[in-house]
């Protein structure tokens, strides 16, 4: 088991705020947009979620590392985050079913971390000031040097990242003899989503983010899925055009998270950057169609403009966030297409929303 390091590490925020802690994982420098996840569990799923590509994540739970890491709990093949910020790192992990510590995982995945940070104070600061870029260093701790390096980090706004995490070539997932076939536009798709399709007897072909609609339609899918992923949807006209072409054929379509935003933009709606995003496993959402509320898993920094719904008569609001009244789900009245902003595959998180996969299957039937 790898021991924690006593070497110093420094965190510098874009607004000049500084935090000093200890290094964890590899040595070096990491930079990106700082954000926080309020989930009490699921740190490995969070770190391997492609939607976090280009970001540095704060875990608000006090103890991280206390149940180790397992390869079958990853949402992709490797860590997607630029770095992690935690309060207390636990060298000792409790599960007999795993042999690897969080430190092992970070070293294996070339990921840098900092611990012994007052994450409560840091998160309160971000809630107030909003998300911003930051830099973590275990080597050069000079403030002037870090400030200079931080100026070179691009803003998440207008940043296209989905093509960096998407598969480079198409691949298949599930049983070829399954009754239904779903084409997946991979903008950063989580493994848990594909597992949910497989468990419902669906055979998937996963396409790279910049695949043209003609290639997808040539496979003759029964349904079309637009995945989650990182970056600003406003910078992804290539995906908007593909989705627009496919829904014009009235193929049953389902979008999650970034996929929801791309579907909305293909219908003429706009998106905007949230003050500090929604990231956690306890976000309350109301299903307007049923009147029921769901506890949901979320990870997004952008949202669809609610005001735009009033301008487009063929789209209806299906789900709304009970914390801040942001758009959580839409349905196209004139097409077989719907989407949600949150994560019904819920890894990590509650299972309240997995019925949406069943709704998609019913739409294909």
Residues 115/10, Cβ–Cβ less than 8 Å: no
Residue 206 domain-assigned (yes or no): yes
Phi-psi region of 300 (alpha: psi -120 to 50; beta: other; left: phi over 0): beta
253 and 360 assigned to the same domain = yes
Half-sphere exposure of 72 (CA within 13 A, CB side): 4
- Full domain range(s) for residue 344: 162-364
* Tokens of residue 37, six digits: 């996840």
29 and 173 assigned to the same domain = no
Residue 4: band (very low, low, confident or very high) from pLDDT cuts 50, 70, 90? low
**Alpha-helical runs (H) found in the chain:** 43-47, 102-108, 119-129, 143-150, 162-165, 191-198, 213-218, 237-247, 258-266, 355-364
Q: What mean pLDDT comes out for the span 338-363? A: 97
238 and 134 assigned to the same domain = no
* pLDDT number for residue 2: 42
Residue 3 domain-assigned (yes or no): no
Question: What is the tens place of the pLDDT at every residue in 43-66?
Answer: 999 999 999 999 999 999 999 999
Domain end marker among 127, 150, 173: 150
118 and 256 assigned to the same domain = no
217 and 294 assigned to the same domain = yes
Separation between Cα atoms, residue 127 and residue 37, nearest integer Å: 12
Cis ω before 187 (30° cut-off from 0): no
Burial (CB < 10 A; 0-12, 13-18, 19+), residue 210, is middle
Residue 312 domain-assigned (yes or no): yes
Residue 2 domain-assigned (yes or no): no
Residue 339 domain-assigned (yes or no): yes
213 and 107 assigned to the same domain = no
Cα-based distances in Å from 162 to 57, 189, 234, 256, 267: 18, 10, 12, 14, 20
* Tokens of residue 100, six digits: 């690897």
Half-sphere exposure of 9 (CA within 13 A, CB side): 28
243 and 304 assigned to the same domain = yes
Q: What are residue 20's DSSP bridge partners?
A: 10
Residue 157 domain-assigned (yes or no): no
Half-sphere exposure of 309 (CA within 13 A, CB side): 19
CATH number of the domain encompassing residue 66: 3.50.30.20
Please say if the pLDDT value at position 3 is more than 90: no
Q: What are residue 316's DSSP bridge partners?
A: 331
Please state, for a pLDDT cut of 90, what percent of the chain lies above it.
96
178 and 36 assigned to the same domain = no
191 and 79 assigned to the same domain = no
Residue 156 domain-assigned (yes or no): no
Task: Tell me which residues are annotated as active site.
Answer: 257, 343, 345
Cα-based distances in Å from 346 to 46, 229, 248, 298, 319: 11, 15, 30, 8, 17
Q: What mean pLDDT comes out for the span 32-51? A: 97
* pLDDT number for residue 310: 84
Domain end marker among 150, 183, 211: 150
DSSP secondary structure string, 179-221?
A: SEEEEEE-SS--HHHHHHHHTTTEEEEEE-TT--HHHHHHT--
Half-sphere exposure of 291 (CA within 13 A, CB side): 0
234 and 343 assigned to the same domain = yes
Separation between Cα atoms, residue 65 and residue 90, nearest integer Å: 5
239 and 308 assigned to the same domain = yes
* Tokens of residue 232, six digits: 């600003």
286 and 166 assigned to the same domain = yes
CATH number of the domain encompassing residue 260: 3.40.50.880
pTM over 0.75: yes
SS3 of residue 316 by DSSP:
strand
Pairing of β 202-207 and β 180-185: parallel
Q: How many domains does the chain have?
A: 2
* pLDDT number for residue 5: 62
Question: What is the tens place of the pLDDT at every residue in 116-171?
Answer: 999 999 999 999 999 999 999 999 999 999 999 999 999 999 999 999 999 999 99
Domain end marker among 130, 150, 170: 150
Residue 1 domain-assigned (yes or no): no
């Amino acid at each position: 088991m790898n021991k924690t390091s006593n070497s110093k590490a420094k965190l510098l925020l874009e607004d000049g705020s500084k935090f000093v802690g200890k290094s964890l994982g590899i040595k070096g420098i990491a930079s990106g947009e700082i954000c926080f996840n309020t989930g009490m569990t699921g740190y490995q799923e969070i770190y391997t979620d492609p939607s976090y590509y280009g970001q540095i994540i704060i875990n608000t739970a006090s103890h991280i590392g206390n149940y180790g890491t397992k390869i079958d709990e990853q949402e992709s093949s490797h860590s997607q985050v630029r770095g992690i910020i935690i309060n207390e790192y636990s060298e000792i992990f409790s599960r007999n079913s795993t042999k690897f510590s969080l430190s092992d995982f970070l070293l294996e995945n070339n990921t840098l971390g900092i611990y012994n940070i007052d994450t409560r104070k840091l998160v309160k600061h971000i809630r107030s000031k909003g998300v911003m870029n930051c830099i973590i260093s275990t080597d050069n701790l000079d403030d002037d040097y870090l400030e200079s390096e931080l100026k070179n980090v691009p803003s998440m706004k207008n940043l296209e990242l989905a093509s960096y995490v998407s598969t480079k070539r198409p691949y298949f997932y599930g049983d070829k003899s399954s009754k239904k076939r779903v084409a997946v536009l991979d903008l950063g798709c989580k493994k848990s989503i594909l597992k949910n399709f497989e468990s419902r007897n669906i055979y998937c072909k996963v396409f790279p983010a910049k695949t043209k609609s003609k290639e997808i339609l040539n496979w003759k899918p029964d349904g079309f899925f637009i995945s989650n992923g990182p970056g600003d949807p406003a910078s992804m006209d290539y995906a908007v055009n593909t989705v627009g072409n496919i829904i014009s054929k009235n193929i049953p379509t389902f979008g999650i998270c970034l996929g929801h935003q791309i579907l909305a933009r293909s219908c003429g709606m706009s998106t905007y950057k949230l003050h500090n995003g929604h990231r956690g496993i306890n976000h309350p959402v109301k299903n307007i169609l049923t009147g029921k509320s769901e506890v949901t898993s979320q990870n997004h920094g952008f949202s669809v403009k609610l005001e735009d719904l009033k301008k487009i008569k063929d789209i209806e609001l299906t789900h709304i966030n009970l914390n801040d009244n942001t758009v959580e789900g839409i349905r196209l009245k004139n097409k077989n297409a719907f989407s949600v902003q949150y994560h019904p595959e819920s890894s990590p998180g509650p299972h309240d929303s997995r019925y949406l996969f069943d709704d998609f299957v019913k739409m294909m039937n």
